[in-house]
Structures are given as structure tokens and as C-alpha cells.
Amino acid sequence: MAPRTMTEPAFFILTALLDAPRHGYGIVADVTELSQGRVQLKIGSLYGVLDRLVTDGLVEPDRDEAWQGRLRRYYRLTERGRHALAAETERLAANARIASARLRAQQSPIAGRSPS
């Protein structure tokens, strides 16, 4: 079976978990910050993505912690998740290099001049 394409929310969730385990609201806030507001997860969609990442072995529960009478579940990145994130980062960088080269090739020395 071919590997699943990584979605942008999954990419940013894995990135958010790189430096430390986080709970749901912490992940949501970090993803918003990392993506400069382009990805804004709702709690329901966050847990859907987290469930898939856990199933794929990229993320695992770290611990549960009581906070203001509620239970917070923390998640951490697995080694497999770290490798998947590194591979996706390289794939995206390669795609950006290809597109950048094509864009540069399409620029002409008279670009920006209006037609006569």
C-alpha cells in the first residue's frame, strides 16, 4: 500500500510536537502560530487527525494530566513520526525548488514593461 499523503494539518501537528509533548489546546495554538494563521484547527478536527496519526504510529499518547477538574491528554511525536516529518519536509522543499526554477525561467528581462 502506498503511503498516505500528509495533509497540511498533519504536517503542522507533527511540527508542533517536535520539541515537546502537548495537549489538544496547546497543539491548536501552536499550529495556528506555526502556520501564521493559515491553519486553524477546531478541536473536533484536531482529534480526527490525531487519531489517524496515532493509528499510523506517528504520534502516541504521552500522559493524562488533571487540570481545573478536566483531564488533558498529551501527545508526543514518535521516531517514525519524526522520520515522516523529515521526509515530508524534503518533499515540500523539492517541490518548491522545482516551482521556483520554473518561475525564474519564465521571467524575461523585459518583464514589467507594458506592451507597445
**Per-residue pLDDT tens over the stretch 16-36:** 999 999 999 999 999 999 999
- pLDDT at residue 70 in the model: 85
- pLDDT at residue 67 in the model: 82
Computed over every residue of the chain, the mean pLDDT equals: 90
- Give yes or no for residue 9 having a pLDDT over 80: yes
Could you tell me the pTM of the whole model? 0.84
- pLDDT at residue 18 in the model: 97
- pLDDT at residue 113 in the model: 57
In order, the DSSP letters of the chain are: -PPPPPPHHHHHHHHHTSSS-EEHHHHHHHHHHHTTTS----HHHHHHHHHHHHHTTSEEEEEEEEETTEEEEEEEE-HHHHHHHHHHHHHHHHHHHHHHHHHHHH--TTTTPPP-
Domains and CATH numbers, the chain: 8-103 (1.10.10.10)
- pLDDT at residue 116 in the model: 52
What does the pLDDT average to over 35-51? 93
- Give yes or no for residue 112 having a pLDDT over 80: no
- What is the percentage of the chain residues whose pLDDT exceeds 70? 89
List pLDDT tens digits, range 73-106. 999 999 999 999 999 999 999 999 999 999 999 9
